[in-house]
Amino acid sequence: KEVVTTTKEELYKELSDAIVSCKKDQVLAAVEKARGELEAPDIIENGLAAGMNEVGTLFERGKLFLPHVMMAAEAMQAGVDVLKDDMPESSEKAASVIVNGTVEGDVHDIGKSIVSTMLQTSGFEVYDIGRDAPVADFIAKIKETDANMVGISALMTTTLQGQKEVIEALEEEGLRDKVKVMVGGAPATNSWAKKIGADCYAENATEAVNKAKELLL
């Protein structure tokens, strides 16, 4: 009986395609299959998150609609939950608390939710305050959780200013020195991050995790 071996690339593609299919059972089956061959962080980053990024792209192009995106996100979360016990434990990382949200007036949620999930699975304690979040909500949650970092997402040019407002509020509250600021979202750039005094800009979820590790660990 011939043994069919699946390459890493094929496993990643299966995971990614399962997410794009928006079917939870397909995602869980792909995760179970991959578990024997791949490390949990790789499954999440190169498989599930890659699929979720693809879902985001298809959504922007009008090929998928919001219910699909919600189903895909739910399926990804189910896959991540299965892998939680396989994640490498790191005690020092758990000390880092990140508040993540999309600014007021902006109802985009997908990218920010992917970032939250990826940060969580990388060992950070994440408090996602959702979309359309007023500056006061960011500040209140940062104080409540004693956060070390805040992720501020804005997906429209018109709401980009909200990122600057959160930073200004942190300064007014005397919190800016103890809280790192990461900004992201389609219209944000490195130069915008520098201009408003953020600590870093992340283009996607993988970069967000890497930047958070650089700044916090």
The rounded mean pLDDT for the chain is 89
Burial (CB < 10 A; 0-12, 13-18, 19+), residue 134, is middle
Residue 92 lies in a domain: no
Same domain (yes/no): 200, 103:
yes
Last residue of a domain, one of 31, 65, 86: 86
Same domain (yes/no): 40, 132:
no
Q: What is the pLDDT of residues 35-45, one digit of tens each?
A: 989 998 889 88
Same domain (yes/no): 76, 104:
no
Residue 135 lies in a domain: yes
Q: What is the pLDDT of residues 57-91, one digit of tens each?
A: 888 788 988 788 889 888 988 998 888 878 766 54
Same domain (yes/no): 125, 74:
no
Into how many domains does the chain fold? 2
Distance CA 152, CA 145 (A): 16
From 79, 104, 81, 86, select the one nearest 36 (Cα to Cα).
Answer: 86
pLDDT band with cut points at 50, 70 and 90 for residue 170: very high
Q: Which domain holds residue 57?
A: 8-86
Domain CATH code at residue 208? 3.40.50.280
Q: What is the pLDDT of residues 183-211, one digit of tens each?
A: 999 899 999 999 999 999 998 877 898 89
Same domain (yes/no): 121, 192:
yes
The token pair that represents 215 in the structure block: 């700044």
Residue 91 lies in a domain: no
Same domain (yes/no): 42, 132:
no
Domain CATH code at residue 77? 1.10.1240.10
Residue 152: alpha-carbon gap to chain centroid:
11
Other CB atoms within a 10 A radius of the CB of residue 93 amount to 16
Same domain (yes/no): 102, 143:
yes
Same domain (yes/no): 152, 208:
yes
Residue 52 lies in a domain: yes
pTM for this model (two decimals)? 0.72
Same domain (yes/no): 109, 197:
yes
Residue 3 lies in a domain: no
Same domain (yes/no): 41, 129:
no
Other CB atoms within a 10 A radius of the CB of residue 171 amount to 12
Same domain (yes/no): 131, 201:
yes
Last residue of a domain, one of 86, 110, 141: 86
Same domain (yes/no): 202, 114:
yes
- Is pLDDT above 60 for 1? no
Distance CA 205, CA 86 (A): 20
Last residue of a domain, one of 54, 86, 118: 86
